[in-house]
Chain A
């Protein structure tokens, strides 16, 4: 965190100053480790074993927060007899269809009165189901409110053999300290220290927070990494309480904002699922399959209709389904990697890149460039001339002779972009807090904001289509596209966009809460969870009252969705009776006299619902939320230790080896995540793993990461002298032991090789890289920063030349945090010899199109 988020890290240092213990778990000793109380080196790709070990410790030593667990989690919930665990099936769950590589999650369900079947998947064959799954249903509802049995059978003594608590105990029983050492390389004594710190700092009086970044997400089991932490935090009672939680540090500024109001293919604003072509023929069928019976997702129709009103204004009427038909439909996964394959196949002919540099920053940069080379047109909007705008003249394939500039037909338009200091707008940070920023200086020359570009492009297209009678053009003609502009460059008003996002009532007054949204077309709202950001017509995100002038929760700094709550699910900070678990950790509580919830934060609960409330039989929607259902967005009101829906690769996390690993899975016969997403392609072969022949050709583990001095794919740092001089060369980090084994010289050159390509890097030999002894052999790890490319003041090979296309099946993220490679001294070959080297390695490893693609 100090390494990639130094500014946010000031708060960790502040906490440390106040007595917090800081533990850093990372394969290498980084700048974060340097100031942590404890550094835990770990094998890249083994975190589920490590955190699973913590869960096992908490369960076997009875360190869980029992009252919290019984009241607020699904620990007491009883599962059907159909569920079979990885313990029973040697590493896979019940419902695995190996032919189609999907799970049928009918067997993962709660036992109880049948209320309704799981989300609209009745009568769907496996082929179609796979397409629907690939369309990333897991991300819908923020992965929280998917369909779950709302009235399950429970056992509050936690003794029933099929209650979630007992299932959990059995599932994690094998994650002993010995296994943690064997799988993750964490010595038992060090692991014991972590166990002690975490459990001593959890409970009524204390809380522990987990912070993760891309080191947890970029795996074929990335979502399950975070699920493991979620289970641990729920068991320890660290959710919904001050100082607790799981904090996602995002890849760069406002990534949270770009999922809330998404740049993702599978979501509409506010985590409303994008309609699917075969599932959601009309608004009614969409709502029927996406809403939940209980809780706030029961109001899905209000959110969707208000969104359609924001998009299409007066054209959206009850009689035409509020223009629901104008929305595009999913037919499968349209993630960035499928899009690239579409480019190569010639299906995708045009591409916009807004501040994105896939020729450096996306997995298998080589395949990315192949896709770019096959387009008709490409628009690159960036601050500087990035590699994704110049690959056609100086890309690695030009050097190897695989591509010739004259053969590349892509017409490239480079449009200079304005920086954040040159435009108004908001950032949404990991705390879901919006902070407004103002134009400090007008963009120079032809540089324009993304808002300017998008608005004026849309305006010009609408002008062209104004007189069209083609039905196909109606969605564009009917769009509300009337933002006021100002200044010499006709900059659209960002504040007007915010007003549309916030929404209006029938009288045109700004809404202050999503509770007021209607499904009759009388309200508009561009993103229901952001409703209230412009309450009373005031830009609440622009508030900057200093911390010293308000309470410690600081509710008047910026604005956090939903409803300016700073801690989600904060009902859980009070006990079932509504009293704080302890004075020290009081956040919100039930005020009996006033008959409402109150406290330091905005209560994340129905304000006047007493703790004693129990829903009457047959209650639906928010009426069905009991006075103790602290996790109000979940269909059953509980924190999910066991996820009966929402995840495509298992209801519980299980240690699988990365797609490419020198290690055989020490826990199960199942080596990999059986439903990981594979994109095998001639330019992107996979390597053998574990005991497979040829695995030893790529004997080392490598992990990619960032440096403080550079930013992502380098567009904002490699071109600046003051940053380029601070980290002036692409390098790899290796231990003295590996350097000795391979004859690598400090500050000299090394070549790193995978089945995709080979890159060269300067060598930093450092004891900060530590060899691990795993399964009787020494395992070396190689660190690779991924910032470099061919352009800028400091240039070098991109680490993503090495990475493959194997993805997390829930969210389609690439696995670049744990791969296998070889390393040798010296610079890489030039010209065609580079590909010959890569091919020689492939041949030695016996790599074919099928390698690594087994279930």
Chain B
């Protein structure tokens, strides 16, 4: 067991609506769990979140090269990118229309409703069941009293187990210092009652910060509102506590399938099957031990 709250395997209820990661991590009296609701329907792709994040957290520049992926030159989340705005062009070319003028043809432009340029600011999901935290051998990854997951840089030994454990490919090791890095949900700001840098900088309130319960309620309302106004593709991603990671601390309103945004459609905490695996290992080990003991006994007998 860990020597401080937050590190080591959780001990409380593992899944379900009652999941309380901070309590499980050993904070009996803790503030409400907080997180992000990223409403991509109002994202304007300004990337202020990326810049604010890097500025506040002193995250280094991550390469100055053109990706060719629309206006996305950040490409993905990694050790030196904790907010990443994806740009997905869905424009298309509708069929020809008659402009009504003899000799003058007009290629109809995009119909205002169907052409889309989707933008979405991705971030660490701060999972209810965080595989990165589960596999961390040093206790560098910890659960905070706010229910978020952070890396303690001075403890991380750079083993990289968390990198392969994350079902979203969020956490990564930085070449320059060898350590694993990711979004801290601005642990050093929220403890002082401040809003995380990205949400503070977002001009259109696409990134909203607050108690997770309130955000989930607000998000449900926003989806209904969009559905009523005819945006039937609107859906939530990661708000459901019964999903494969026990619900995400940072969840999203998307306007298309998650895969379109580069998000796994059905993420599962990679350590979900560990207890079962370990039980099998234990059973197998016990059987082996019994067998070995029997052999010893028999051998002993034989020898004696």
Contacts and interface: CB of A to CB of B under 8 A. Distances in A.
A31 B51 contact: no
Contacts of B99: 178, 181-182, 187-188, 773
A726 B107 contact: no
B239 interface: no
Interface string A527-554: 0000000000000000000000000000
Nearest to B204: A13
Contacts of A709: 47
A41 B105 contact: no
A431 to B, nearest CB: 17
B109 A185 contact: yes
B105 A2 contact: no
Nearest to A194: B112
A189 B70 CA distance: 29
Given A9-B204, A29-B91, A708-B45, A728 B65 contact: yes
Given A178-B100, A725-B62, A747 B68 contact: yes
Interface in B41-72: 42-48, 50-51, 54-55, 60-66, 68, 70-71
Contacts, number: 161
A794 B61 CA distance: 13
A421 interface: no
A573 interface: no
B44 A726 contact: no
A778 interface: yes
Given A726-B51, A767-B92, A708 B46 contact: yes
Nearest to A666: B104
Contacts of B110: 29, 39, 41, 770
Contacts of A775: 104
A184 to B, nearest CB: 10
A767 B107 contact: no
Interface stretch (A444-452, A629-637, A688-696, A716-724): A716-724
Interface stretch (B13-21, B24-32, B115-123, B275-283): B115-123
Contacts of A794: 64
A762 B65 CA distance: 11
B46 A39 contact: no
A708 B47 contact: yes
B256 to A, nearest CB: 13
Interface residues of B, number: 50
Contact of B64 (A23, A178, A728): A728
A186 B109 contact: yes
A33 interface: yes
Interface in B83-126: 89, 91-93, 97, 99-101, 103-113, 115-119
A771 B105 CA distance: 12
Given A722-B61, A767-B92, A34 B119 contact: yes
Contact of A6 (B44, B70, B107): B44
Interface in B195-217: 203-205
B152 interface: no
Nearest to B203: A10
B115 A39 contact: yes
A2 B64 contact: no
A187 B110 CA distance: 10
Contacts of B103: 776
Interface of B: 42-48, 50-51, 54-55, 60-66, 68, 70-71, 73-74, 89, 91-93, 97, 99-101, 103-113, 115-119, 203-205
24 contacts: A2-B46, A6-B203, A9-B203, A9-B204, A10-B204, A10-B205, A13-B44, A23-B112, A29-B110, A29-B115, A35-B43, A39-B109, A40-B112, A187-B97, A190-B109, A190-B111, A708-B46, A709-B47, A723-B51, A724-B64, A727-B71, A768-B117, A773-B106, A776-B105
Given A728-B66, A766-B70, 4 more contacts: A39-B109, A39-B112, A728-B63, A767-B92
